[in-house]
A and B are shown apart, each in its own frame.
Chain A
Amino acid sequence: MAPLLPPSLRALLPPDLERRLPQDEIPELGPLLQIRLGAGRPVELCFPGVSRFLAPSGRLVPEASQAWVPDGNLAHQLLQRAAQGSLYALEQELQHGFLTLPGGHRLGLAGQVIAHDGGYRLVHVGSVNVRLARAQPGAGLFLLEALAARRLLPPFPSLLLAGPPGSGKTTLLRDLIRLASEGVAAHGLEGLRVGVVDERSELAACHHGVPRHWLGPRTDVLDGAPKVAGLMQLIRTMDPQVVATDEIGSSEDARAVLEARKAGVIVLATAHAGSLEELAARPGLGPLLAQQAFDAVCLLARRPRPGQIAAVLPCPHNPRRGE
């Protein structure tokens, strides 16, 4: 049976919480997707399509009234442990409201903020959300098959993966990067040189610049770099045939993607949006669609399971595809 949590993540949890959590996955609930903690509230564990609270005995219960409400601020304790007592070293991450943990898991933060340097900074953490990163080799093959069915393969297309939070965009992108790098003989795709700008260290989960997730034999990762500068730097220095980045959204991101496309590079990216209309309505992403920066947009859904392909929408005016 698979463990509920990877050991590196379990080691970071406050002891009160760690000893209550089950060791192994619960078959009827499936893999754990998130742990949500907050001061004065029960611990919530999120599984595909369902959530449970942690009871004092360590059982998982559906009702919050039966759940264990920890003393003290578990959220702050977890943050302290994750930061190894060095919150000052995470100023930038805390401004962005999240922290990437070893293994690429993401610790989202909420609480009291103050104005700081023209933006905001968290000063007291009231709740956190641990989102587990799961490498799912093979997840991208379903998408490649859908693309092949629409005659969008070969060559490897530029793709935008869009979906709501928790729909598996990053997991799918990670696997597409691996497939692009390794090549997929069944679809006539040769391995390509891939450059990844991993601003939030989620795609590759780098430690001192070395990826912990396998992203293929021809993949270079620029870890922690801002997307805009990173994409251009990779194109200038590493001669990639494909560049990939997570969560584009701003006008600057869009400009960088367009520059990459003009440089003849395939782009793989993700964005938050529930539909093509929502995507087009976002100020940074609308122009990308209008200028046909992607060969196809893949819409993902959270249900019935994260990574569910809801729609594959080929770019309707793409001259390369002759459609």
Chain B
Amino acid sequence: MLAELGAGLAVLAATWAGQTLAWALARRVRLLESLEHGLLLLEGEIGSGRTPLPEACRQVAALVGAPWDHFWLRVAQEVEPPACRPPDQAWRLGVEELGRRMGLTPEDRAALTRLGDRLGSWDGAEQARLLERTRHQLGVHRAKAQERWEREARLWRFAGFSAGALVVLILY
């Protein structure tokens, strides 16, 4: 009885591990989609509405919804009093936290950080162009992530289950 339970647990754990890896791939696609959507909204707020950055970020947060809103709310909070951080610092803090929580790749981080370096400066039209460029770059990353998810998600799930089954076969 115990041996069967152990075998079941081994298969379950390995399947779970494979599933987690597949979820991580899917989550990255969704994260990049949400960032692209957020940047598009921000582009509209800044380029057309000239909405101040904190207010614009809060509006984006409301539209992208949880759990993706955390990044935008953090940026807004850091720019507003009492923190009053310059937008590049606020953006960088947001990106760092997002990277820790959601798993950005170094390329994603680099693209977002480059945007932060110029965010909030004088020219609204330039801001909009920069946002569009970053969005386009994240779009490329997202397409690659999507491709990888399609290619590897099933593989990881199957590999997880197979690894569990293999362990059981070896042990028993």
Q: Which residues of A contact B (CB under 8 A)?
A: 11-12, 77, 80-81, 83-89, 91, 94, 121, 123
Contacts and interface: CB of A to CB of B under 8 A. Distances in A.
B119 to A, nearest CB: 7
Contact of B82 (A11, A89, A91, A94): A11
Interface string B76-94: 0001111011110010000
30 contacts: A11-B84, A12-B81, A12-B84, A77-B86, A80-B86, A81-B84, A83-B52, A83-B120, A84-B52, A84-B80, A84-B81, A84-B84, A85-B53, A85-B86, A85-B119, A85-B120, A86-B52, A86-B54, A86-B79, A87-B120, A87-B121, A88-B50, A88-B122, A89-B46, A89-B50, A89-B52, A89-B124, A91-B50, A91-B122, A123-B122
A150 to B, nearest CB: 47
Nearest to B121: A87
Contacts of B90: 85
A302 B171 CA distance: 95
Q: Which 9 A-B pairs have the closest CB atoms?
A: A85-B87, A88-B124, A86-B52, A85-B120, A86-B53, A85-B79, A81-B84, A89-B50, A89-B52
Contacts of A85: 53-54, 79, 85-87, 90, 119-120
A223 B94 CA distance: 34
B51 interface: yes
A86 B46 CA distance: 9
Question: Mostly helix, strand, loop or mixed at chain B's interface?
Answer: loop
B54 A89 contact: no
Given A11-B84, A88-B127, A94 B122 contact: yes
A198 B11 CA distance: 73
A89 B79 contact: no
Interface residues of B, number: 23
Given A84-B54, A86-B52, A91 B124 contact: yes
Interface in B52-99: 52-54, 56, 79-82, 84-87, 90
Given A84-B80, A86-B53, 17 more contacts: A11-B81, A11-B84, A81-B81, A81-B84, A84-B52, A84-B53, A85-B53, A85-B90, A85-B120, A86-B54, A86-B87, A88-B123, A88-B124, A88-B127, A89-B124, A91-B122, A94-B122
Contacts of A11: 81-82, 84
A87 B119 CA distance: 9
A123 B121 CA distance: 10
A88 B84 contact: no
A78 B158 CA distance: 58
A84 B122 CA distance: 12
Contacts of B52: 83-84, 86, 89
A89 B51 contact: yes
Interface string B108-136: 00000000000111111001000000000
